[in-house]
Amino acid sequence: MAAQNWNMEGSNAALDRTREALSQAVQTLERAGVAAAREPLTAAQAHLADAVLYGRDLPQLVRQNDERIAALGPLGEELKAYIAQGRVAFDAVDEYAESTWSDIRGNGSEAQAAAERAYEHWQQAQQQNTMDEQEFPAAKGNLDAAENETAYARQLIDTIVQRLHDLETARSTARAEIEAAQSDIARGWAFVRANDADVGRVPEQKLQQAEQAFAAAQAEMQQGKPNWLTVVEQAQAANALADEALVGARSEAEIIEKLRKQVANVQQLATAEVKKIVSFVGLHEADIKPPSRQQIQLVQKQTQEAFGLIQQSEASEDERRRAALEKAFAAYQALQKLASQVYAQAYADFQELEQLRTTVNSELARTRSAIESAEQMLTMNRSMLPRSSRAEQRLRATRRSFDQITLPIVGEERLRATIKEAQAIRAEAEDAAADLRRSFPGSHGGMGGPVVIVGGGARRSQCAVGVVSGRDPSASGCPARRDGTRRLSAAPGGEIGPGGELMAGFGCDILFRMH
């Protein structure tokens, strides 16, 4: 393979590590026995697998990477269209009360960020999976990241699309419940008035209470953006009160059928609340605290119990069926309320980590800026540096470390670890930049170090970029900048003296850093 220009350095290095681990295993076996030798033997096996991967298996890995690169291209286009669909869905969700969708705010932006990150990893993999670069394992890692980020972005958009569907269902259910409640109240009063002598005060009181609940539901519907869940709750309460008033006037079959529909409606709403919890926990599981997890388990238990009551009603007859349906109705109402409370509690857990996420984003941005600044310095001054200098290698290492930080970052422990990791990478990048500056030809310690000349001013085109020795520039009176540099400006026509001093009338901005 070496004759075919394959880079075998990784395989050879892995073989060296394998030999070293085997040697350690032999020594440990002789000294401490089989149990103690397992660890170095395991390490030797891992190194040997790396040697095969970086050697004999490289052509297969390249083919696999190429296939994945080709597959990810269309997926990226599909994701782009799906994000656009999610944006349209979110605009539609905005028609509903904010309290019913506030938890998905920002999902579209986060999905877009994940998609862009996936695209960056895909592009990097394309470059790495070539015979010029031959960074095939790194290409595989970037493809893994791109696939994970693509899936994460789709999951975020899924929540938006699903929420719109759930809210549309709630709105449709609310209107049906309102119509049913209004109809039952009217029929109840007609029956009571037609049979006033035979009807006591309790049915009349129930109907009055039903009218109050119905009025509350109508009032909520008049809001600019009604909470359709509240409308359904009030309408169902009115419906239940009207049913109680009509209990003696309806046949058992009619009551049972109506009760079955009510159970189906409240089951749908309660299930939607439970799905909302499941979806949220799926995205932010690491952010959920143990008390909330226990409540989620309770929701799951009550969901199973409520569904069991529906099954029980279908297996029963007459009064037992009605009793089971009434229990199921009450169970799903309680489940809907509990699920809403548990969701609020889980969302509060998630919100507590928002400040940490903000800090993570800030530290990543600062670290990215430090790396890019050092890379820019390397590009501008490459001609003055020895090939493959230690500073350049360190800078490339910091870039690789930074690129390995991928989304999503969840959980307090992982967030705090990422902050420390970003700070460490930034410190390494800044130190590598300082090392890079010390690599410039002619650089040396002390206040009389080199001056970096950067063209500027009215005669910018006449100024060359370079390094000259100069005297202590602090005498210039120019304020020091945050990166340790100072900038001077003078009139056109100036020059630099033989000792590196700045002569009057110099026609450039002079940017210098003391080494």
**pLDDT tens digits for range 409-444:** 877 888 889 999 999 999 999 998 888 888 766 554
pLDDT 10s digits, 120-166: 999 999 998 988 888 888 888 999 999 999 999 999 999 999 888 88
Which range, of 196-200, 224-228, 358-362, averages the lowest pLDDT?
A: 196-200
Task: Using the predicted structure, report yes or no on whether residue 456 has a pLDDT greater than 60.
Answer: no
Highest mean pLDDT among 113-122, 173-182, 287-296: 113-122
**pLDDT for residue 216 is more than 80:** yes
* Residue 447 pLDDT grade (very low, low, confident, very high; cuts 50, 70, 90): very low
Q: Which residue has the higher pLDDT, 440 or 373?
A: 373
For residues 474 and 369, the model is more confident at 369
Cα distance between residue 137 and residue 149, in whole Å: 19
**Amino acid 369: pLDDT:** 94
Average the pLDDT over 259-265 and give the result: 87
- What pLDDT is attached to residue 515? 33
* Phi, psi of 394, deg, nearest 5: -65, -40
- 136 contacts 64 by C-beta, under 8 angstroms: no
Q: Binning pLDDT at 50, 70 and 90, where does residue 188 land?
A: confident
Residue with tokens 């037992």: 320
Share of the chain above pLDDT 70, in %: 77
pLDDT of residue 246: 79
pLDDT greater than 70 at residue 55: no
* Minimum mean pLDDT range among 205-209, 221-225, 300-304, 453-457: 453-457
Q: How confident is the model at residue 408 (pLDDT cuts 50, 70, 90)?
A: confident
pLDDT score, position 355:
82
- Closest Cα partner for 243 from 280, 213, 217, 218? 213
Region 362-366: what's the mean pLDDT? 92
Distance CA 26, CA 420 (A): 38
426, 437, 440, 441 from 382: Cα distances, Å: 21, 11, 9, 11
Which one has a higher pLDDT value, 449 or 244? 244
Neighbours of 391 (CB within 10 A): 22
Q: In whole angstroms, what is the distance from residue 321 CA to residue 315 CA? A: 8
DSSP 122-183: HHHHHHHSSTTT--HHHHHHHHHHHHHHHHHHHHHHHHHHHHHHHHHHHHHHHHHHHHHHHH
Q: Is 94 helix (H, G, I), strand (E, B) or coil?
A: coil
- What is the predicted pLDDT for the residue at 502? 42
Strand, coil or helix: 431: helix
How do residues 271-284 score in pLDDT, each as one tens digit? 998 998 898 888 87
Angle at 12 between CA 10 and CA 13, to 5 degrees: 65
The pLDDT value recorded for residue 6 is 64
Quick one: pLDDT at residue 154? 94
Q: How confident is the model at residue 49 (pLDDT cuts 50, 70, 90)?
A: low
